[in-house]
A = this chain, B = another copy of it.
Amino acid sequence: MSTTAPLRPRKAQIDRTATALFRARGFAATSMRELATALGLEAGSLYSHIKSKEEILHRVCFGLAESFFAGFAAATLDATAPVATQLRQAIEAHVRVLTSDSAASAVFLHEWRHLSEPARGEFLALRDRYEAAFRELIAKGVAAGELHTPDTAFAALTLLASLNWLPAWYRPEGKLAPDEIAHRLAEQLLSGLRHDG
């Protein structure tokens, strides 16, 4: 029983450094030579660890997608709980993923369009499925009389939009802890959704 060390620690380090650069400069504007320099390497050396530049982006985007789905699944595991509770937990799970790695989150949110097909299409399908999961949860809440909104799809988009702006301003050293942020966001968003709020 031990904390499993990464199979290829250097590769993981490349991913982390690349993610930070992709976030700061954008995928297209980040060169392999910049990435290598940031790691204290020559550009060619990177290719002992990775297959291509896009492969890094692919791993970041799809890895984070998996985290989001896992968080949502855990939050809605007890389907008999009040929908408002499930939604609050889903919001908190989403915020937890966003704050635990805000650089990767920013890349996930903005740089996916530099994926080439078919990865790009697969990514968008995943994103749609995730949005649909929130939409259906809200719809379930409306049907149960726990939530109210004139437009379920609209409400889901607005909710995710509010959450996804977080990586743009969140700083780990800021005065608000992730849990506190998640709580306030859920409060503010739900008070606009909750019936007789």
Contact = CB atoms under 8 A, between A and B. Distances in A.
Interface of A: 25-29, 110, 113-114, 149-151, 154-155, 157-158, 160-162, 164-165, 168-169, 184-185, 187-189, 191-193, 197
A114 B154 contact: no
A125 to B, nearest CB: 16
A161 to B, nearest CB: 3
Contacts of A28: 26, 28-29
Q: Is the interface of A mostly helix, strand, loop or mixed?
A: helix
Contacts of A184: 150-151, 154
A171 to B, nearest CB: 13
Contacts of A151: 184
A39 B39 CA distance: 41
Nearest to A166: B161
A149 to B, nearest CB: 7
A184 B189 CA distance: 15
A160 B162 CA distance: 8
6 contacts: A149-B188, A151-B184, A157-B165, A158-B162, A161-B164, A162-B162
B158 A165 contact: yes
